[in-house]
Structure 1
């Protein structure tokens, strides 16, 4: 927050005056994907592919199994996320990962980043 006065310009906060590091390559790629709308298209493609291969159903089954084991009233969304995320990430089929990587690479080549 800046302090202002009628007689003098705003005084910057000490945090704002710190030297900022330039964005990383990952940050730049993410910005380009967001600005172009490509990130949403890739997310939708990923959703479709995961549904097609049955991955989503597997994750649902794991969640249900965990909830039955712990008791339905004793499970929170955070518990499910903590337990299921590592299994979910590890079980994404390699062809789907490869397809997304190809699409990201071709996007980067097309935008000359």
Structure 2
């Protein structure tokens, strides 16, 4: 299974891979359909735009800069920065952005099922 560059694999995905489970989950099927149709890229662009509009991107940038300043520029790796900032970033995505994305995915599923 191919994992997102921006997001580490979920423990469930790793467990399924470890057990040799070849059946696709509903989440995987939806993801495949989104990629094949090109809709995933459209949704990613929508989320990026919304996160910039609401100031989330600037907030994450400031958190990164603050962390690097505290630790020292030469003492921080990109992997460490991602490990520290990712939970804060995920938790701070505005509910409105999540709701809009979920609605777009639901609309896609309904239209794809017809």
> TM-score if structure 1 supplies the norm length?
0.81
Total equivalences in the alignment? 95
Task: Quote the residue 1:44 is aligned against.
Answer: 45
Decide whether aligned partners of structure 1 residues 64 and 107 sit closer, same or farther in structure 2, where only a CA change above 3 A counts. Answer: same
**Shift >4 Å, 4+ stretches:** none
CA RMSD of aligned residues (A): 1.4
What is the rounded CA distance, in whole Å, between the counterparts of 2:50 and 2:58 in structure 1? 12
Return 5+ residue gaps in structure 2 as ranges.
Answer: 1-19
The alpha carbon displacement at 1:101 in A equals 0.1
More helix by share: 2
What is the rounded CA distance, in whole Å, between the counterparts of 1:112 and 1:22 in structure 2? 20
Return 5+ residue gaps in structure 1 as ranges.
Answer: 1-18
What is the rounded CA distance, in whole Å, between the counterparts of 2:28 and 2:72 in structure 1? 41
